[in-house]
Structure 1
Amino acid sequence: MVKVLTSDNANEGRDIMTGGAANDLPPIRHNDYSPLCPPALGEWAPSLSVSVVIPAHGGQHRLDLTLAALAAQTYPDHLMEVIVVDDGSDPPLRLPEIVPEETRIVTADPGGWGIAHAVNTGASLAGGDVLQRLDADMLICREHIEALARWHHLAGHLVTIGAKKFVEEPALEPGEVYEAVRAGSLESVVDLSAALASSTEQTIARTDGLRASRNPYHVCTGPTVSMRRETFHAVGGIDPDVLRGEDTEFAYRLAQHGVVFIPDMEAGAVHLGLPAQRRDRERVVRAVAPYLAHRVPLRRDLRKDRGRRWLVPYVEVVLHVGGAALERVREAVNAALEGSVTDVVVTLVAPWSSLPPGRRPVLRDPAFELRLMREHFAHDERVRLADEVSPSPAPIPFRYTGPVSVPLEHRSLEKMISALQGDRAGLLIVDLPGHGPATLERTEALGRARLLGADGADDVVASIERTHGVRHGAPQEFWPSRPVTRTGPAEKASEKAPVKAPRPDDPAREEGRRPEAGVPQTGVPETGVREAKKPDPDRRTPGNRGSAGPAPRKPPSLLSRLRDAIRAD
């Protein structure tokens, strides 16, 4: 039974919304929000205020109809405000006669234009606990705001999506709409039998209300969506530089933040006018593609151009390099950037800000190695220098962290991502004996853990285990060329774990290819434990008497002696 939140327990409700200890809800696995049980419409007492933000450019008559439907809502008037943002209309928009009690028109902030800019303006002025975005050409049913807002009284990390159908705009007056919505019979003024179903509703039905959806953000389109106001601002609002597909890009960032997407079909609505895709689908798709290609790395179908640099990388590779030698770090960075996954950014973590400026003995500088490293990577846009690891790599969807001493092999990242994607796990841990763990985090799982109040590494891992799952992998699965080291004196060299053969399409099979960066080319593992040597057919042994002995070693070259002298110095 869901607890009814009233003004008497509003503070407790706010604790619930922030995911605090008062929540006491079972964990939501991926996007399966089944543990949440919202109250029936009309049978509960809301306590959270709602700010409805309506971006509008022209279309005064449609706006009049939208506001008339809002005026007939079941959500309490004293808990709802409506902010219409006029995005450069000529003539300017005006408030009609039938509007909700707390309704105002504001002009979009100067210096920008478009839907995203208008919504951001309204959100910056909103005072409600819940932010509801609504388009200026929507007729909503009388329970629409109530249906979406009831979920936000249960938990704070939710984004709710209203239903919608498309119709050709009928000849209507605001008074007709108000009376029809107030009576709960929107169909009396709109022919719903001729309405065009939304493609998002088809996806919602096919994925059990998005409970089984792998990427539920796809259907979180703009005409009617609500969330906590803090959630909107936490992800930076809507990107005003995205002129088409801004709602999808915004929803993707919400997903990386860790939210749960909930469509509520009881929040019915009618969109006045057919969708743009209906008129010119090819042109719409082409207009959206470049925006999403740069900003939504999970759209791998849009990133088919090899060697391109993208605004948002697919993976962040984190290397802790304090105290490491430059040559070792260069090897690890090159291995990360030259792998089969090309849209990668590398973050080198070290106390860079502690390096003092000003005059210093260049050759005898105590921070000599760290300064060399900074200068070597400072001007590479693919490499970042940071004093500490950020709490989240968002909007980058994956973050790899591993030891510098074990560089990634050509397909290590590709295989690790594939492993996570296969069972939708939130974290992959690979123990590298002698070097520590290598991990791959799914950003949305990390974001969910933070939203649920996880604090500290162990707490975060435990939270990810509950919401997405944690997977453990063997080193040979992701570093197939790496020698296997012995773990104890009793273990024989012949008892090594089998190494997987390269796949037929593995680039390492190509004849004449140079060794991949990070693949050990000798029998000496980086742990310092030697592999068992193979018998030398030219060495004289009791079973091989025909050999004259090992060939004499060549004296070191002048270049080798110079290098040794420099290292010793």
Structure 2
Amino acid sequence: MDARPALRQNDYSPVTPPELGAWSPALPVSVVIPAHGGRHLELTLAALAAQTYPAHLMEVLVVDDGSEPPITLPELRPLRTRLIRVETGWGISNAVNTGANAADGEIVQRLDADMVPCREHIEALARWHHVTDYLVTIGMKKFVEPPEVTARQVSLARHLGELFDLDAAVPSSTEATIARTDGLRASRNPYHVCTGPTFALRRDVFHAAGGLDPNVLRGEDTEFAYRLAMHGVVFVPDPAAQAVHLGLPAQHLDRERAVRAVEPYLAHRVPLRRDLRKERGRRWLVPYVEIVLDVAGATQEQVRAAVSAALDGSLQDVAVTLVGPWSRLGDGRRSVLGDPAFELRFMRDLFAHDERVRLIDEEAPTPAPAPFRYRGPVDVPLHRVTLERMIETVQKDLTGVLVVDLPGAGAEPRTARLERTSALGRAVLLAGAGGDLDAVIETTHGIRRESPEHYWPPAPAPASSKPAASPAPAASPGPAQASGGRPGSATAATPAQPGGPTVPDGRAAAAPATGTGARTPERTLLRRLKSALRPD
């Protein structure tokens, strides 16, 4: 295998797989087939027995997911076929994980028990994994009514058209998406088409992404593919990997209920499905954005202001991570008021029971499965529109990282960053330990730099009932005014006056005043904090 190529977005064009039938495979493949009942299993195994992939490099694991009566293997099957019975749990995800955990092959091929693959199916998908190791290859499928064919006929057929009326077959909707997006090269979310019946990936990638979620009983393949995307993989559909699915999909039998059954699983676990998260005020299992703030050396006033701003923005689908030396705080006897770690302990106890705030000593390499991570100085609170506008910017062209330059003194530049998890995941795969992640992201997804005005818009000029003697100078834009404005329902910027500054929620808000007695947001916040701490 050559060195890993730094593929751009989901464009796998630089990768050239070997030609079918004109190469020598070397990697062992484990075909994992979850089965409950296995009504058509003998046809699936017969097709696998006739594969062009070398028999000594292919094992088949049939995972019996609580069938009654238990599954027995037919006589016509691949030479290296094992029957594994699920001991604990149930469902497709649990069965696939059981098979993958028992697999010996370096490539895991997932296949349904009612699929009949063409003779080249395993070879077509496995060949890509001989070139590089962070791909997920996807097979094609059509739906047919089960015909009266025998396992022997399946094993002898050279083409699927000899067995099935492919002209009358129901095409998969994923194939239309693949064709419309140049084979997923131009797809914005290619994980959508990586559905369960047939896909292949390296075994270590399967486990690194966490395997399938056994708590997801419908849509488990899409949820797993989403996590694979966050891991940084590239999705490759191969038209040569044809197969038929015996029977119509569940959506054709009861579409309304099939769609409803999937919704709660994907709504909680796939934040990119914004259409499933329209209800305001809800809390979801996986947040859309993780906001990471390093609190080392920060005052409790700064931390409280930063957390409050983060949780009170127009984008509510967030979680806050406070990075600090929390593990150093023991729970033994101590002087409560004379504790040397009083400030740090105060902050820990202040946020310990807020379900949207977590305390960690060191942030993870990526925020997976959350699709975005924000990192910025704790003393520059987010404006309520910052995150929405940053995400809007990176979503235009799927930029990997957006860097906003912040004003500040000193030689060290101050920046805020919005990072795309899938770009970070790929950079971690390609750069290795200690590698330059940003250099990789620049190649695979791009890095964009912007000034702060759009993301921390200036506060509006103060409203006045009396004519002003002379125009007041416009407030200088920048993050220092991040806490200006009040929460509202709209997010689009609306001009406060012709040529003047904008108000993010379209309502009047006080601009920072000048002169004696001016009440800036920072001073107002400080007064509130002092008042809250003053004894009665």
Give the TM-score of the pair, scaled to structure 1: 0.82
* Alpha-carbon RMSD: 2.5
Larger radius of gyration between Structure 1 and Structure 2: 1
In 2, are the aligned partners of 1:318 and 1:400 still within 8 Å (CA)? Answer: yes
State yes or no: 1:41 paired with 2:15. Answer: no
Amino acid at match of 1:96: P
**Matched position secondary structure for 1:477:** coil
Aligned equivalent of 1:6: none
- Once the two structures are superposed, residues 219-254 of structure 1 have per-residue CA deviations (whole angstroms, 9 ceiling, x without a partner) of 000000000000111111101111110100000000
Superposition map of 1:331-370 within 5 A: 331-370=305-344
Deviations 1:184-227 (A, max 9, x none): 22211111111111000000000000000000000000000000
Q: Confirm or deny: 8 A CA contact 2:300 2:343 kept in the other structure.
A: yes
**For 1:373-452, what aligned pairs fall within 5 Å after superposition?**
373-434=347-408, 436-452=414-430
Pairs aligned (count): 491
Q: Does 1:93 align with 2:71?
A: yes
| Match of residue 314 from structure 1 | 288
* Letter matched to residue 106 of structure 1: I
1:156-555 superposed matches below 5 A: 156-180=133-157, 184-434=158-408, 436-456=414-434, 459-481=436-458, 502-503=493-494, 508-511=505-508, 522=512
Is the contact made by 1:335 and 1:410 (CA closer than 8 Å) also made in structure 2? yes
Percent same amino acid among aligned pairs? 64
With over 3 angstroms needed to count, the CA separation of the structure-2 counterparts of 1:401 and 1:482, relative to structure 1, is farther
Secondary structure at the aligned position of 2:224 is classed as helix
Per the TM alignment, residue 506 of structure 1 is displaced from its structure 2 partner at its CA by 6.0
For 2:67 and 2:439, locate their aligned partners in 1 and report how far apart those are by CA, in whole Å: 52
The alpha-carbon deviation at position 327 of structure 1 amounts to 1.6
Structure 2: which amino acid aligns with 1:142? R
Contact persistence 1:454–1:463 (CA under 8 A): no
- 92, 96, 100: which one pairs with 1:115? 92
Tell me the residue number matched to 1:554. Answer: none
Structure 1: distance between partners of 2:171 and 2:530: 73
- How far off is 1:454 after superposition? 4.0
Contact 1:29–1:467 under 8 Å retained in 2? yes
Alignment counterpart, residue 126 of structure 1, candidates 87, 98, 103: 103
CA distance in 2, matches of 1:215, 1:129: 26
1:482 offset after TM fit, Å? 6.8
Deviations 1:23-46 (A, max 9, x none): 4x3x21100100001111001101
The CA deviation at 1:328 is 1.3
1:81 has 2:80 as partner: no
How far did 1:455 drift? 3.9
Listed as ranges, the gaps of 5+ residues in structure 1 are 1-12, 17-21, 484-492, 516-520, 524-532, 537-549, 551-558
C-alpha displacement at 1:498, in angstroms?
10
AA aligned to 2:439 is: A
The residue matched to 2:136 in structure 1 has which SS? strand
Q: Secondary structure at the match of 1:163?
A: coil
CA distance in 2, matches of 1:563, 1:275: 63
| 1:476–1:482 Cα contact (<8 Å) kept | no
TM-score, structure 2 length as denominator? 0.87
Provide runs of 4+ in structure 1 moved above 4 Å. 493-501, 504-507
Change (3 A) 1:372 1:171: same
Q: Which amino acid aligns with 1:94?
A: T
Superposition deviation, residue 64 in structure 1: 0.2
Q: Which runs of 5+ in 2 are unaligned?
A: 461-472, 482-491, 496-501, 518-525
Paired residue secondary structure (2:431): coil
Q: Quick one: distance in 2 between partners of 1:221 and 1:503?
A: 43
One-letter code of the match for 1:416? M
The corresponding residue for 1:4 is none
The code of the aligned residue for 1:70 comes to: L
Q: Could you say what secondary structure the match of 1:39 adopts?
A: coil
Q: Take 2:43 and 2:476, find their aligned partners in 1: how far apart are those partners?
A: 73
Cα deviation digits, residues 510-544 of structure 1 (max 9, x gap): 25x7x7xxxxx636xxxxxxxxx68x9xxxxxxxx
Measure, in 2, the Cα distance between the counterparts of 1:456 and 1:103.
Answer: 42
Q: Give the SS at the match of 1:43.
A: coil
2: distance between equivalents of 1:257 and 1:279?
34
Structure 1 residue 336, shift from structure 2 partner: 0.4
Query: Residue 406 of structure 2 contacts residue 478 of structure 2 at CA under 8 Å; is this kept in 1?
Result: no
Aligned partners of 1:109 and 1:118 also within 8 Å: no
Paired amino acid for 1:227: L
In structure 2, what is the equivalent of residue 528 of structure 1?
none
What secondary structure sits across from 1:508 in the alignment? Answer: coil
Partner of 2:465: none
Cα offset for 1:356?
Answer: 3.0
Do the aligned partners of residues 98 and 205 (structure 1) sit closer, same or farther apart at CA in structure 2, a change above 3 Å counting?
same
Deviations 1:273-332 (A, max 9, x none): 011111111111111111100000000000011010000000000000012111210110
Q: Is the contact made by 2:143 and 2:248 (CA closer than 8 Å) also made in structure 1?
A: yes
Quote how far apart the aligned CAs of 1:496 are. Answer: 6.0
AA of the residue aligned to 2:424? L
Partner deviation per Cα, 1:39-92 (whole Å, 9 max, x = no partner): 1100110110000000000033x0000000000000001100000000011111
Preserved contact between residue 268 and residue 285 of structure 2 (Cα < 8 Å): yes
Shift of 1:503: 2.8
Query: What is aligned with 1:3?
Result: none
Kept in 2: contact 1:164–1:198 (CA 8 A): yes
